[in-house]
Amino acid sequence: MEARPSSALGGRAQVPGDKSISHRALILGALSVGETRISGLLEGEDVLNTAQAMRALGATVERTGEGIWSVRGVGVSGFAAPEKPLDFGNSGTGCRLVMGAVAGAPISATFDGDASLRKRPMARIFDPLKQMGATVSMVGEGGRLPLTLSGPRDPIPIVYRTPVPSAQIKSAVLLAGLAAPGVTTVIEHEASRDHTELMLRHFGATVTVANEGPHGRRISLTGQPELSGAPVVVPADPSSAAFPVVAALVLADSDITLTEVMTNPLRTGLFTTLREMGANIEELNRRDDAGEPMADIRIRSSKLRGVEVPPERAPSMIDEYVVLAVAAAFAEGTTTMRGLHELRVKESDRLAATAEMLRVNGVKVEISGDDLIVEGRGHVPGGGLVATHMDHRLAMSALVMGLGADTAVKVDDMSFIATSFPNFVPLMQGFGAELT
Ligand code: S3P
């Protein structure tokens, strides 16, 4: 696919439902008694794989309309052993959260995924689950997929300090802790997205949260609750909104509005950073649903300048650095993004792949330790072919870059965009983007 230099973007649209919340709604629905009705579910490949896994584990999962799904759960510890390996495709979140949920049931399940997921570390998930009594076997080299995980009859509640700030690790431990007698505690030295905690409460569990140091949290879940199915309205995904947001900022005279975007402060580090760079991003109609704040956001093109992004901001914008690097390339001056070690273990090595994406398009960029340094010159030459490494966010970021560059930018593979933002191309074209 090719993105060509485009003129001003305009209009109003809603990006698809939040991926993190969509996975969690299906999983918690499957662990509840009664019906969970979900509206606005992201119908991307990652989430559809989680829906399929919930069916394979015994829940009834039905699509009743566009984005409208019904889940009838089996209750905490009620999962049945699946007949076949569970295939999570490209999705680290689906795979890792379901590993936690399976560790709370006395069954065995085999977990697998595509070539990208097979390269990603899984020991960070099964190490704490083993402490809770789970066993793992047939693990791929270096703690990779495929692997078989067996839940214990009686999981042990633990106190676990996460080695890196990761909502996936935290969520896996809490989901396994649902089946444990007593209190399971996760301590994180930097707070990661809290959708699991908020949704557990929404389904009837007791979760307490206390601050831990200047940026961290201590989260405690009382085990063996009776979870009851509850309605979930999924707000639009700020990580998907990030692409039209950056496109509108860098294309002169643009003015777009994105509706119902989730604005949970543990997800909005990109908006904070862009505002520091001089971006005109306005939040309108602020409201709340099941503890998740949302707003309509209006974005107008802005002259951006380089900034320093502190490492403690990384958890609140971990999926947005690729597109921030694109914004930084269009800015005037240097942008330094610090503390990006976790980017190396995403759908691709995003640190290396982002630097390469910029270099092939004539942008000066450097990786220094875990920091990414982009020299913004106010414009991007473009003309490059970007290798996307089975990574949806690289593909979308490169295309956004092409819309504002001096000459068109091509990507080698756009198929992975369907994992998180299936209507990315028509939505961007609706705003006026030239994508073919
Ligand atoms: C996610 C957590 C993040 C993020 C991923 C979604 C989640 O991963 O990168 O896209 O829904 O919990 P880590 O928690 O491993 O940083």
**Which atom of ligand 1 is least distant from the CA of 20?**
11
47 CA → ligand 1 middle, Å: 13
What six digits make up the tokens of 365? 């960029």
Residue nearest to atom 10 of ligand 1 (CA): 319
- Report the separation in Å between the CA atom of 237 and the middle of ligand 1, taken as the mean of its atom positions: 13
Q: Which of 18, 19, 20, 391 to mutate to test the pocket of ligand 1 (most atoms within 8 A of CB)?
A: 20
Burial of 381 (0-12, 13-18, 19+ CB in 10 A): middle
Q: Whose CA is nearest to atom 13 of ligand 1?
A: 166
What's the pLDDT at 75?
Answer: 98
Predicted local confidence at residue 110, as pLDDT:
98
C-alpha R_g of the chain: 21
Pocket test for ligand 1, best of 99, 168, 217, 234 (most atoms within 8 A of CB): 168
Give the number of the atom of ligand 1 that is nearest the alpha carbon of residue 170: 14
Q: 93 C-alpha vs ligand 1 centroid, how far in Å?
A: 6
Index of the ligand 1 atom closest to the CA of residue 166: 14
> Which of 307, 326, 314, 98 has its CA nearest to residue 215?
314
| 236 beta partners | 17, 261
pTM greater than 0.85 (yes/no): yes
Q: Whose CA is closest to atom 9 on ligand 1?
A: 319
CA-to-CA separations, 357 to 75, 342, 388, in angstroms, rounded = 46, 18, 8
Active-site amino acid positions:
319
Task: Identify whether the C-beta of residue 113 lies closer than 8 Å to the C-beta of residue 74.
Answer: no
- Burial label, 382 (beta-carbon count in 10 A; 0-12, 13-18, 19+): buried
Distance 246 CA to ligand 1 centre (A): 21
Tell which one of 169, 193, 270 to mutate to probe ligand 1, the residue whose CB is within 8 A of the most ligand atoms: 193
- Work out whether the CA dihedral 159, 161, 167, 172 comes out positive or negative: negative
pLDDT tens string, the chain, 436 residues long: the values are 999 999 999 999 999 999 999 999 999 999 999 999 999 999 999 999 999 999 999 999 999 999 999 999 999 999 999 999 999 999 999 999 999 999 999 999 999 999 999 999 999 999 999 999 999 999 899 999 999 999 999 999 999 999 999 999 999 999 999 999 999 999 999 999 999 999 999 999 999 999 999 999 999 999 999 999 999 999 999 999 999 999 999 999 999 999 999 999 999 999 999 999 999 999 999 998 778 999 999 999 999 999 999 999 999 999 999 999 999 999 999 999 999 999 999 999 999 999 999 999 999 999 999 999 999 999 999 999 999 999 999 999 999 999 999 999 999 999 999 999 999 999 999 999 999 9
Ligand 1 atom closest to 97 (CA)? 12
Query: Closest Cα to residue 121, out of 144, 141, 105?
Result: 144
193 CA: nearest ligand 1 atom? 12
Pocket of ligand 1 (CB under 6 A): 20, 93, 166-168, 171, 192-193, 318-319, 342
| Cα 101 to middle of ligand 1, angstroms | 16
